[in-house]
Chain A
Amino acid sequence: MTPGSTPPGRSGAPSAHPGAVPPAQATSPLAPGGPGRGHRTHRTWSPRRITAALVAAVILVAAVAALVDVIAVRAGRPAAFWRRHLADELATRPVDDVWMLTGAAVAAAVGVWLIVLALTPGRRRWLPLRSPAGCPRLRAFLDREGAAVLLRDAALRVPGVGAARVLVGRHRIKVRADVRFRDPQRVKDDLTAVLGEECDQLALARPPRIVVRVRQRTD
């Protein structure tokens, strides 16, 4: 993934900063790893409200429909069309019928998806941040799109960069920049330094790896 021309040191430990960065961390109130200077926010688990509401609504609708029809039949009315149809289909189609197999596959897939949703934390859109030292009960998150916007602005501040695209993943940040003038290698070094500094400003609890690619564009 990383192009071969990446300078060594950037792909190492996530907390490693390039040597070109001036030691600005000493003035930052959110310096990473400093004792007593803030703490890391752990990822919170999503309550899965929307999925739970959907599943609850489906169960509710099915139960109420069945209830209404059972009571209607007890009261002497004929069963509803959907119930007769459903009972006929279930009574006549063998389980190797293509519709039965399709239905079974869909049910199993939805089941797997629900189990995955139940067991994973979710909130993949939000990156946990370090909390400031004065507020121990504060938990902060930055959305990935917002981080991308801030990093793109920082990248455009580097002289020679004409355009930049930033993709913020949960563990890695990919930056692609078009170089309009100056030596691409020096622009790339500057970009690496500036983005490392800006990433420190983002106060991310787990600083992601930054992968920079530059492309010469002189048109």
Chain B
Amino acid sequence: MSPRSALNRSLLALAGLVLLGGGLLIFFAGLDVYRWHGLVPPAGWPLTTPADVLLGSADRARWSSQGWWWWPAVIAALVLTALLALWWLLAQLRRRRPGSLPVGGTPPPDGVELRDRALSDAIAAEAGALPGVDDAAVRITGRPAQHRTRIRLTLSPEGAPGTTLTALCAGPLSTARRCTGLPDPPTEVRLQARRHRAHRVK
């Protein structure tokens, strides 16, 4: 699992737990579950009886009389929340691209670099020309030192995924490895087949 996936899933689980906990708290008090089942909530439990309100006047009075530091603290907490949410949102929109890859043997000579677009276009051109492939789109992602290749292939009706993968591995990917001298990057291939009308192959 990538770090971003782990972060997203942790934060989503946290948000889910908060929503679920809040909802259940209101539900239990609203349906008077505590009294029916003879449960005694611990002292300081926020909602206990159906007549409770979420925002009692006692709460409001207590918050309003906290002293000079209360509102600056609220503002600071809101600013922090907004900044973290903004950062989390931007982390979803950003796609890291290496820009250029060092090529030419180990250690790579200075100044010899390959644009990521050049490499992806070359792979896409060769992959798109494979038999049974209608269309190929390639993206290089990640950092220059650990880049990844993502390939999306659209198969024609004559294409078979197994043979296409073998051809992809023996053709464009091995060409790319030979030409760049880079070790094999992690590669993700997504295959689709173009929808078409049912027809009998003679």
Contact = CB atoms under 8 A, between A and B. Distances in A.
A60 B160 contact: no
Interface of A: 28-30, 44-53, 55-57, 59-60, 63-64, 66-67, 70-71, 74, 87, 90-97, 100-101, 103-115, 117-119, 126, 129-132, 134-143, 145-147, 149-150, 152-153, 156-157, 163-164, 200-203
A143 B191 contact: yes
B85 interface: yes
B43 interface: no
A28 B162 contact: yes
B89 A60 contact: yes
A87 B57 CA distance: 10
A150 B134 CA distance: 14
B166 A115 contact: no
A129 B188 CA distance: 11
Contacts of A46: 5
B13 A118 contact: yes
Contact of A156 (B18, B25, B60, B198): B198
Contacts of B188: 44, 138-141
B55 interface: yes
30 contacts: A30-B165, A30-B166, A44-B188, A45-B1, A48-B9, A53-B89, A63-B82, A67-B78, A90-B53, A94-B52, A95-B50, A101-B30, A104-B22, A104-B23, A104-B27, A107-B19, A111-B19, A112-B20, A114-B12, A114-B19, A134-B169, A137-B187, A138-B165, A138-B169, A141-B191, A142-B161, A145-B193, A153-B157, A163-B198, A201-B163
A180 to B, nearest CB: 11
A92 B52 CA distance: 9
Contacts of B192: 142-143, 145-146
Q: How large is the interface on B (under 10, 10 to 19, 20 to 34, 35 or more residues)?
A: 35 or more
A196 to B, nearest CB: 14
B32 A141 contact: no
Nearest to B20: A111
A108 to B, nearest CB: 3
Contacts of A49: 4, 8, 92
Given A63-B81, A138-B165, A202-B161, A108 B20 contact: yes
Nearest to A204: B161
A29 B166 CA distance: 8
Contact of B195 (A145, A156, A200): A145
A150 B160 contact: yes
Contacts of B27: 101, 104-105, 108
B114 interface: no
A200 B160 CA distance: 10
